[in-house]
Amino acid sequence: MSRRTTVLACLVSSILLTVATAAPAAAATPASEWDYVALGDSYSSGVGAPGQSGTCLRSPNAYPGLWNAANHPATYRSVACSGATTGSLRSSQLSALNQGTDLVTVTIGGNDVGFASTIITCTLSSDSGCAAKVDEALEMLEDEMPATFDATYREIRGKAPNARVVVLGYPILFDETAPSCGFAGMSIPKRKSINKGAAELNKVIKARSQAAGFIWSDVTDEFAGHGICGPSAWLHGLTLIPPTDSFHPTSNGYKYGYLPALNSVLP
């Protein structure tokens, strides 16, 4: 073998070795052998779906439970919790992770920028008051959240160094074309303001999760045409019983929105 051929062979071997060692452990084994942990807020715990229980309002009909039922991983645990922020995730959920964790999924960030208070303000105030509240959240998103996401993702990676980590975004909540949105429904200007905020939040989450080396899964395509006020909504509008379901996915939203978005980025 010539010196040139030997050098080329060594280079190819080195590249293959690097790729093999850099790939998440989950990629080398079938899903039935994975240890799966679901982290996050109400969009991961399953608020809005049937079967919610406990103080965290976890449901087996959330996308993590649906994925578990379809794929039968070796182990599955959801520690996602309604109302979770990046801070509470880091303090109370990361203990579920370890070096053997193969798959992690997470939705987080909406509560950090005031999802609930923004919805309440927009429901009760004028169009301009809603827009001002959304702009306030966007200022925080720009100034504070990139560093907060970076720190959160570093801690997830530190606790689960070998895992495939999938970060899922949030749906665009409202149909913007329907002239009426039901009792106490949002005006079209309010809907546009809230949708703008969700789109900007997704942009930041996407950028920071990809910078961390995680897998980003956008759910906006899956939920397109199924916003609140639309003819085929996969999200609850203002709900009185239980009120916590308000502005969260329905069972169809988890089954036909979030679950396909997760499946689309997994082998």
Give percent helix, percent strand, percent coil of the chain, each to the nearest 5. Answer: 50, 10, 40
226 catalytic? Reply is no
Which of 110, 96, 83, 120 shows the shortest CA–CA distance to 37?
A: 96
Inter-helix orientation angle 127-143/145-159, to 10°? 50
Is residue 220 within 8 A of residue 171, CB to CB? The reply is yes
Is residue 176 within 8 A of residue 195, CB to CB? The reply is yes
Bridging pattern class, strands 75-78 and 215-217: unpaired
42 catalytic? Reply is yes
Catalytic residue among 13, 32, 42, 44: 42
Angstrom distance (rounded) from CA 160 to CA 102: 8
Which of 37, 73, 265, 267 shows the shortest CA–CA distance to 159?
A: 37
Catalytic residue among 45, 209, 217, 248: 248
- Residues serving a catalytic function are 42, 248
